[in-house]
Amino acid sequence: MKITRSIIIAVLFLLLHSFIPAQEIFKYDAGVEKYFLSGIKYYENSDYQNSFSVFDSLMIKKPVNQRTTASYLMAAKSLYKMKKYKAAIILLNELLKNYPATTYRGDALLNIGINYLFIQRNIESAFVLRDCIENGDSASSLNAERLLDEISAKYLTQNDIERLLPDSKSVHVKDFLKLKSAQKYYYSGDPNSTLKIIDPILNRQQKSDYETSFISLKSQLQSGRNIKIAVLLPLSQQMNAGSSSELISTEMIEGMNYAVKRYRDSKISSRPVMLEIMDTERKISNAIKLVRDAASDDDVVAIIGSLTSDETGLMADEAVRRKIPLIAPTATAVGIAEKGKYIFQANPDFTVRGKLLARYAVGSMKLTTFGIISSNDIVGKNISEYFKKEAERLGGKVIDIQYYTKGSTDLSEQFYNLRKSGLNLSGKKVNEENLDIPVTSIDGLLLAISDPEEIGVLASQINYFNIRTRLLGSNEWYVPGQLEANKRYINGITFLTDSYIDVNDSEYKDFERKFIFEMKKTPLRYSVIGYDLCNILLEQIASGNTTREQIAKSLQILKKYKGMQRLISFGAARVNSEMNILNFENGEIKKVTEISLDD
């Protein structure tokens, strides 16, 4: 579990404000007092191993003295600082067992709760903190309540909170837990269950310590509208079972559902948010109608959709007319965002892709002469065109572009022509068909494929035609299986991609673990894309941007949003300008850097 920043701040506050324990009333020993203070000095200087050694020896020293119980507490705090959380819990429980009447009972319970939190035993932490609220001194009780408030919002489920209620002894704690439960129901969009908790408390004779909070929650429930995000994707069962569009849509929605659940559980906003899922049925006419339907619902503040550039482009026209923000999750065509200020492309378009690859090749790799072999479809042609323009603007030179028809397996004509251009550039007067002569005058060769299946076709022919150069590729090269199968021919290729997940990153591991726990499946690429895009909108809403105009304006200034699989910056052009540069060498794909048009 990754402990959130607010939890860490809360923990530090609690630890700093219970630093040096007071003395219990036992037999006084001056030597013990002096040795105890040396342990405190070690602790203050962050020498936790030595501080633990001092306190460990003092807590077992006989006879019991004025610093015995304090030494238990300080030894446990030293263990906590050394991240030995389980050992700290054992020691604190030993303190409570051996000295049940200790005045440090509240401090011990509070610290047990903190240590449980750091070993991901959230419900055990909650039980101990609840007991601290009811049995600790006033200071530790207050601190335990603050921490339980934080973790109940972020880490506890509705069932977890309900498990805490039966054994609660005081009305104060029962009302606190009922408030947390009511808030969970409210943020999950269950008004009836929320009222079932609130009304009996507000109607009883004894006033609750949380009366104001219950009244405020009921007021929000009665007056606040639900905010909706419309999701327009192809989901129809009329489609072929298992079709790629259906699977992608399903993955995206799973990611969005998880984002909304996290939003509700986190209590970062008092405004409930719901997803309005709509099926375009892969019919453009239906997609346009659904944009109208979404825009006519005043509760809908933004739209996410669709998958293809064609469908998304026509939806964008309607969204502009209806003045509702639309985020296109996967469209890459040039010009979609240009339709109006309400349209945002989360995927970099071909302009961005070609420019960024050229900037990296010229600026970072220091390449100056280029050849291009490109598919003659829209993907290849666009990447090639924008790469060429940007490379030449930066002082590079594209000496030749050779196009091939998608599906071709024999590219000998294109490679012979490229060899001829390279040999002419070097001044060598030899026949380009003499493959014994290597072409070394081309610094970089862009292979603008439109389908990963073309990797194998191009890879072997580069080697056969003896062109020795740095290989460059676009997003379509990011297919690990194809790279591995052709690694002997394309070792060292550099390519860009719109998304990259570092599965070893601690933050991603934490996300994956929680996703599997909540959704009962492993997140896939499009699950993560859906999660990131939904989170962007949820953060805007949580920040108070709850109208269509406010969301459109906030998205226009979105810079360097760090999602799970990429950075996102929209800016004035409203097209994501962030990509990743990867390198495939010796069978390994490694991320080299992130690159942006704004840098």
Q: Provide the pLDDT confidence category of residue 19 given band limits of 50, 70 and 90.
A: very low
Average pLDDT over residues 509-521: 90
Residues, the chain, total?
599
* Structural contact between residues 180 and 152, judged by C-beta atoms closer than 8 angstroms: yes
Of 224-228, 342-346, 417-421, minimum mean pLDDT range: 224-228
Report the candidate in 527, 520, 521, 462 with the shortest Cα–Cα distance to residue 499.
Answer: 527
pLDDT on residue 7: 58
| pLDDT surpassing 60 at residue 170 | yes
* Structural contact between residues 354 and 382, judged by C-beta atoms closer than 8 angstroms: yes
Q: What is the pLDDT of residues 54-88, one digit of tens each?
A: 999 998 888 888 889 999 999 999 999 999 999 99
Mean pLDDT of the chain: 89
| pLDDT surpassing 90 at residue 2 | no
pLDDT on residue 484: 93
All domains of the chain in start order, with CATH: 5-223 (1.25.40.10), 227-346+503-568 (3.40.50.2300), 351-497+583-591 (3.40.50.2300)
pLDDT on residue 14: 53
In angstroms, the CA 298 to CA 296 distance is 6
Average pLDDT over residues 195-210: 92
Report the candidate in 484, 452, 327, 326 with the shortest Cα–Cα distance to residue 379.
Answer: 452
pLDDT on residue 5: 47
Residues 6+ apart with CB under 8 A from 180: 149, 152, 153, 156, 161
pLDDT on residue 431: 87
Residues 6+ apart with CB under 8 A from 129: 109, 110, 113, 144, 145, 147, 148, 151
Report the candidate in 412, 369, 423 with the shortest Cα–Cα distance to residue 392.
Answer: 369
pLDDT on residue 320: 96
pLDDT on residue 242: 43
Average pLDDT over residues 191-211: 91
pLDDT on residue 17: 45
CA-CA-CA-CA torsion for 475, 476, 480, 485, nearest 10 degrees?
-140
Q: Provide the pLDDT confidence category of residue 423 given band limits of 50, 70 and 90.
A: very high
Residues 6+ apart with CB under 8 A from 274: 189, 226, 227, 228, 229, 260
Of 10-14, 56-60, 568-572, minimum mean pLDDT range: 10-14
User: Which amino acid, residue 229?
Assistant: I
Q: How far is CA 174 from CA 111, 394, 547, in A?
A: 22, 68, 37
| pLDDT surpassing 50 at residue 16 | no
Task: Return the HEC string of 250-288.
Answer: HHHHHHHHHHHHHHHHHCCCCCCEEEEEEECCCCHHHHH
What are the tokens at 109?
């319970």
| pLDDT surpassing 60 at residue 589 | yes
| pLDDT surpassing 80 at residue 12 | no
pTM of the model: 0.64
| pLDDT surpassing 90 at residue 255 | yes
Average pLDDT over residues 457-465: 90
pLDDT on residue 224: 61
Q: What is the pLDDT of residues 113-161, one digit of tens each?
A: 999 988 889 999 999 999 999 987 888 888 899 889 888 877 788 889 9
Q: What is the pLDDT of residues 344-380, one digit of tens each?
A: 999 999 999 999 999 999 999 999 999 999 999 999 9
pLDDT on residue 226: 73
Coil, strand or helix: which one is 3?
Answer: coil
Q: What is the pLDDT of residues 26-53, one digit of tens each?
A: 677 888 889 999 999 999 999 999 999 9
- The percentage of the chain sitting over the pLDDT mark of 90, rounded to a whole number, equals 65
Q: Provide the pLDDT confidence category of residue 239 given band limits of 50, 70 and 90.
A: very low
pLDDT on residue 420: 94
Coil, strand or helix: which one is 201?
Answer: helix
Of 224-238, 367-381, 418-432, 549-563, minimum mean pLDDT range: 224-238
